[in-house]
Structure 1
Amino acid sequence: MRLSELVSCIPFYEWKGPTSDPIIHSISHHHKSVKQGTLFIALKGEKRDGRDFIQQAVLNGAAAVLCDIELSLSIPVIQVKNSRHALAQITNLFYGYPSYKMNVIGITGTNGKTTVSHMIQSIVDYAGEKTGVIGTLYMKQGAQTKTSINTTPDSLLLQQTLSDFLAHNVTTSIIEVSSHGLAQGRLFGCDIDIAVFTNLTQDHLDYHGTMDHYRWSKSLLFSQLGHNHFMDLPKFAIVNDDDPFSEMIRQATSAHIISYGLNERSDVYASKITYGRHSTAFTAHTPIGTINIKIPVVGVFNVYNALASIAATFAKRIPLSAIAEGLKNMQSVPGRFEIVEANQPFTIIVDYAHTPDSLENVLQAIVKMRAGRTFVVVGCGGDRDKTKRPLMAKVACGYGTDVIFTADNPRSEDPADIIKDMEEGVPGHNYSVILDRKEAIAYAISQAKEDDVILIAGKGHEKVQIIGNDLIPFDDKEVAFELVKGAF
């Protein structure tokens, strides 16, 4: 594709330098991946500024550069006002607008995005479609899995991935949409058909600064949903009726709204909920009838996740019988209320719960299933929202009988300082402090007896612990499994 054709999707820009019109074979915003025929798009990141590497990109063979500063180079320079917006528009054109050629479901909210994405995938797969999933755990279609760097990839990787999905005959893509991704415009130009809202509680204030900005960022998915009301291509907003933020979404979107919740005023709601040790059953009520649902996960928060999935797939006109079967047969989600089995006489659960609300949801579910003590191994991430640290500690001590504060991903902070912040929320409470995460898990295992439950919270599916700038191999599930094998 010629450079002039590629930038034709940008309404305003300045072409500087040579007027030659090179053929663009690839697009990159990282100078190390630039080769002959690459359009290098220079972006200012949170830690590094791509504009500092423009000369290196030219030496590596860049055919042209797009940036938001004035430059004089030996190759064409496309100067724009907003490089990130231009990246989204150009990559969409370069890869042939893949999102417009498939059904796309976007899921946003503080908690539940990963579980809802897997529930929807299980339902859609059962209904006979081929799915692709983009989210916190991975980017996956069929047997092909790629590691995710961010929950929502940048515009370039997103369009590359959707294009690859399309080439593999994916008909429905399911995308976890983060507040960072929305605020940074990573989904600009992406045609979302169904947008799902799970819930909103405090998180990411280190980035957003205020809850108002966090809420605004989440609402963008729904305000950008489009104004398409054609009968064959309707847009839907799926909202949690029991979360106050849903009212803001209703005001922000022009799409059709389907609500869900635990009350009869919702379009999709649950009744007759029963909780087992490893499963939950309920009756789902929808605008076209009722059906009995059984999901292989526990907790009221997973009832909400299932209702969101039912509403989204109902919007896709999947029969209720297929929805029920898809949910019943869903696979466990790594790091989400994941049980460690090593023939121990007590229960060990690994969960990604890293916000006060998600930790409380998990602990409430544990309280309903356990007969003995509840051990909580928990910490908080470094270089992240400090205001939630005392709240996390308060939740842990409010539900746990034996609480152990430990390191999570301390990053550049001292783990001891992080725990001091946590301790401010629990004056007068009993808890232990063991900074080394493996030692903390080992201590809980050594103390647990039959019918007790150990919750290892905060890291879930993660395979490394971030200490300083180092990524140290560490998997909560594997560590717990090996410790139990050594103890029993």
Structure 2
Amino acid sequence: MQLERLIAALAPTDVVGDGALEIRELAYDAREVPRDSLFFCVPGAKADGHDFAAEALERGAAALVVERRLDLDAPQLVVPSVRAAMPRAAVEFFEDPTARLPVAAITGTNGKTTTAYLLWAILTAAGEQPGLLTNVERRVGSEVREVGLNTPESIDLQRLFSEMLEQGNRGCVMEATSMASAKGRLEGTRFAVLVFTNLTQDHLDFHGTMEEYFESKRRLFAQAGHTVVNVGDEYGARLAAELPDAMTFRPDDALPGVELKLAGRFNAENALAAAAAARALGIGEAAIKQGIEAVHRVPGRFERVDEGQLFTVLVDYAHTPGALETVLEAARELGPGGRLICVFGAGGDRDRAKRPLMGRVVAELADISLVTSDNPRSEDPAAIAAEVVDGLDLEVELDRRRAIERALDSAQAGDVVVIAGKGHEQGQEAGGRKVPFDDREVAREALRRLAAPT
């Protein structure tokens, strides 16, 4: 693509150099710059892309997008905001892929991943061959890829949409996060249908207030053709009042004739959301039934770990007060005569205000609780745990492996053990390192040891 086309799309305030050159790729990471690419000098909290412009040119960048002129011998497009320019350039460069690829997106605090899997299964049953973008995995054509950011940067996202079209996908199901919305990664993406699941406290370290958090979700609906809203949620009811054409549902609605294979009342809510989104896309009831009934598990979402033990073990991604409440209440229903045991922690470098709230939820709903390390990142695990405990009668075991082992050692027939916080994750982030750690595998190993003859 000629740089001149991108200049027209971005309308820069100043252009340095000649626009008559070929651009073969877009890039924003100086460590990964294909030859003849347009490099975006993105200012960040920890590093400024302008400082890496020379390196990007050395690696093969043909031109730069900047917020100020740099003393470099290269074409430069000066714009007010490089981050805001990225999605506009990406949509132009990849020829507006979501104009040809119907995208079904799910936004909300809880339920995004499971709803996405259910909707993906429904569309698959309908023969739509959809792609999938979740925080568990990405599916492009027949290829399954690992996940980086929950919602990719705008350039990567538009590239993925373009690749889906090339690989024969006829649609895409994705999670749309508040962080991606606030950072503009979803600008230019057309949503054939957008689903709102719920809103509970999370990410206030980034958004500041619940209203700002809500606004980051709300603004996405201007990009949607069809909308689906859970009006059983306080914020969903507010949103639906602004969207007169929205398709709505409530948690106590029914799906007649559909046998949900996923445990937990909240998964019935997720199924209702997926079914409503499918109907908005014109999918028939037979495919809705077939798709929902085909989903037996979602990785790290109320996922059972079964080694033949006489008690139930569940691994779940719940890492907010609202999600913990939902999961623990559902877990209690699975073992009404037994005890409810919970292993949980709070992530480091994330919303601190939710930590004591998480502790209170678990203290109220679980019979036995172990506060442990989640992903402490740069923080002191003991300090995080202290904020979670906040004066409550909660036991602390900072070694997550040992906490899981202790919980399973103490479990008796009929009990339910919930290992919360990390779900599908296969690593633990601490002190600048990420070490292999999978709650499900740790639980399996511990259960096998318990079952081994002594």
TM superposition score normalised by structure 1? 0.90
Displacement of 1:314 in angstroms is 0.7
Name the aligned partner's letter for residue 387 of structure 2.
D
Worse-superposed segment, 141-150 or 377-386: 141-150
Q: Residue 260 of structure 1: which of 249, 257, 263 is its match?
A: 249
Instruction: Give the letter for the 1:418 counterpart.
Output: I
Provide the C-alpha distance between the structure 2 equivalents of 1:35 and 1:357, rounded to a whole number of angstroms: 43
Superposed displacement of residue 292, structure 1: 1.6
Residue in structure 2 matching 1:416, options 373, 382, 385: 382
Aligned-partner Cα distance in 2 for 1:69–1:320: 55
The correspondence for 2:298, drawn from 307, 327, 333, is 333
In structure 2, how many angstroms separate the alpha carbons of the residues matched to 1:205 and 1:440? 28
- CA displacement, residues 162-221 of structure 1 (integer Å, 9 cap, x when unaligned): 011001111111110000000111111111110100000000001111111101101011
Whether contact under 8 Å (1:222, 1:249) holds in the other structure is no
Amino acid at match of 1:299: G
| 1:20 to 1:190, Cα distance in 2 relative to 1, 3 A | closer
Looking at structure 2, the residues matched to 244 and 372 of structure 1 have their Cα atoms a distance apart, in angstroms, of: 33
Equivalent residue letter for 1:3: L
Give, as a single letter, the amino acid of the residue that structure 2 aligns with 1:486. Answer: R
Match of 1:462 among 425, 431, 438: 425
> Counterparts of 1:248 and 1:331 in 2: how far apart (Å)?
33
Whole-Å Cα distance in 2 between the matches of residues 179 and 417 of structure 1?
27
Aligned twin of 2:137:
138
Alignment of 1:23-422 (within 5 A): 23-225=22-224, 235-250=225-240, 252-253=242-243, 256-262=245-251, 269-270=253-254, 284=255, 291-370=256-335, 371-422=337-388
Residues 209 and 262 of structure 1, relative CA distance in 2, 3 Å threshold:
closer
| Rounded Cα–Cα distance in structure 1 between residues aligned with 2:299 and 2:101 | 27
Show the counterpart of 1:19.
Answer: 18
Provide the C-alpha distance between the structure 2 equivalents of 1:465 and 1:124, rounded to a whole number of angstroms.
34
- Residue of structure 2 in register with 1:232 after alignment: none
Deviation per residue, 1:379-412 (Å, 9 max, x gap): 0001111111111111111111111111111111
Cα deviation 1:279-311 (Å, max 9, x = unaligned): xxxxx2xxxxxx322111122211111111111
Residue number in structure 1 paired with 2:407: 444
Cα distance in 2 between the residues matched to 1:58 and 1:421: 46
Question: Matched residues in 2 for 1:184 and 1:311: separation?
Answer: 28
Matches of 2:242 and 2:89, distance apart in 1:
27
Judge conservation of contact 1:250–1:257 (CA < 8 Å) in 2: yes
Is the CA contact 2:125–2:287 (under 8 Å) kept in the aligned structure 1?
Answer: yes
1:279 aligned residue: none
Query: Which digits, 9 at most, give the CA deviation of each residue in 1:1-21, with x for residues without a partner?
Result: 1111222212343111x3252
Give the Cα separation in 1 of the matches to 2:93 and 2:197. 33
Q: Distance in 1 between matches of 2:141 and 2:341?
A: 38
Q: CA deviation at 1:156?
A: 0.6
In structure 2, the residue corresponding to 1:157 is in which secondary structure? helix
TM-score, normalization: structure 2? 0.96
**CA RMSD after TM alignment:** 1.4
Deviation at 1:331, TM superposition (A): 4.0
**SS in structure 2 at match of 1:145:** strand
Query: Which region of structure 1 is more displaced relative to structure 2, 455-464 or 86-95?
Result: 86-95
Q: Deviations over 1:309-339 (max 9, x none)?
A: 1110011111112211211111411000000
- Report the Cα distance in structure 1 between the residues aligned to 2:120 and 2:312, rounded to whole angstroms: 28
For residues 444 and 39 of structure 1, do their structure 2 counterparts lie closer, same or farther at Cα, with a shift above 3 Å needed? same
CA distance in 2 between counterparts of 1:450 and 1:355 reads: 29
**Cα separation, 2, equivalents of 1:63 and 1:451:** 65
2:192·2:281 contact (CA, 8 Å) conserved in 1?
Answer: no
Unpaired runs of 5+ in structure 1?
A: 226-234, 264-268, 271-283, 285-290
Give 1:273's aligned residue.
Answer: none
CA distance in 1, matches of 2:133, 2:439: 23
CA distance in 1, matches of 2:36, 2:210: 44
CA distance in 2, matches of 1:474, 1:113: 23
Question: How far, CA to CA, are the matches of 1:467 and 1:363 in structure 2?
Answer: 27
The offset of 1:246, in angstroms, is 2.1
**Residue 72 of structure 1: how far off its partner (Å):** 3.2
- The 8 Å contact of residues 378 and 457 in structure 1, kept in 2 or not, is answered as yes
Determine the C-alpha separation between the residues in 2 that align with 1:215 and 1:422. Answer: 25
- 1:334 maps to amino acid: P
For 2:282, what is the secondary structure of its paired residue?
A: coil
User: Which one-letter code corresponds to 2:263 in the other structure?
Assistant: V
Q: What amino acid is aligned across from residue 185 of structure 1 in structure 2?
A: G
Q: CA deviation at 1:36?
A: 2.5
Identical amino acids, percent of aligned pairs: 38
Partner deviation per Cα, 1:389-448 (whole Å, 9 max, x = no partner): 111111111111111111111111111111111111x53x3x321110000001111111
Q: Distance in 2 between matches of 1:378 and 1:461?
A: 14
2:44 is paired with a residue whose SS is coil
2:315 and 2:140 mapped to 1: Cα distance? 25
CA contact (8 A) 2:190 2:223 kept: no
**Could you tell me which amino acid in structure 2 is paired with residue 447 of structure 1?**
S
* Residue pair 1:224, 1:253 contacting (<8 A) in 2 also: no
Distance of 2:347 and 2:288 partners within structure 1: 37
* Residues 75-108 of structure 1: CA deviation (Å, up to 9, x unaligned): 1000001111211011111111111102111110
Q: 1:281 is matched with which residue?
A: none
Q: Could you tell me which amino acid in structure 1 is paired with residue 238 of structure 2?
A: M
Contact 2:106 2:174 in 1 (8 A): yes
Q: Contact 1:219/1:252 (CA < 8 Å) preserved in 2?
A: no
Distance 1:449 1:251 in 2: 48
